[in-house]
Amino acid sequence: MRSRDGNRNFTLRLCSVIFLSSLALNAGEFLISYRYIVKDAILYNEKLDISQAMQKCNGKAQDNIIFESNRDDSFKKIISQNSEKFIDFIHKLGLHVEHKEKTINLQNTATTILTLRTTCFKVDFNDNFAKITPLK
């Protein structure tokens, strides 16, 4: 059965080209934020938030890091498997540091907060590797 406008073949070709190009590119953009709190020389809280970007991120690509992955791995799974290396990579990007110190009745308390504000990362998935590049 033909469509009324007669462009059925064109529509099918266009849909298949879009589908195949999305599989070939296999890249995504993710928003990542990180917060690390130390209170009185003890790790109090550490939080890494990862979410997929809803809009295209703009910016220049910075230094990247490459992790080994399988085709079926999700980005969050890759990060959790390589968390120490990824956290070291984030520290090199530059963190906002906030330090508070109080002394009350000769008792000193100190709190340090390291924060990576929400940053867009471009992730390219290849056969066995994931290339993670921050955009600034």
Average the pLDDT over 50-65 and give the result: 91
Q: How many domains does the chain have?
A: 1
- 102 part of a folded domain: yes
- What 3-state class would DSSP assign to 67? strand
Q: With respect to residue 109, please indicate whether it lies within any of the assigned structural domains.
A: yes
Domain assignment present for residue 108? The answer is yes
Domain membership of residue 10 (yes or no) is no
Q: Is residue 45 part of a domain?
A: yes
The two counts, helices (H) then strands (E), for the chain are 3, 6
| Residue 12 vs residue 132, higher pLDDT | 132
- Residue 4: inside a domain, yes or no? no
Task: Report percent pLDDT > 70 for the chain.
Answer: 79
Per-residue pLDDT for 73 more than 80? no
Q: Which residue segment(s) compose the domain that 69 sits in?
A: 26-135
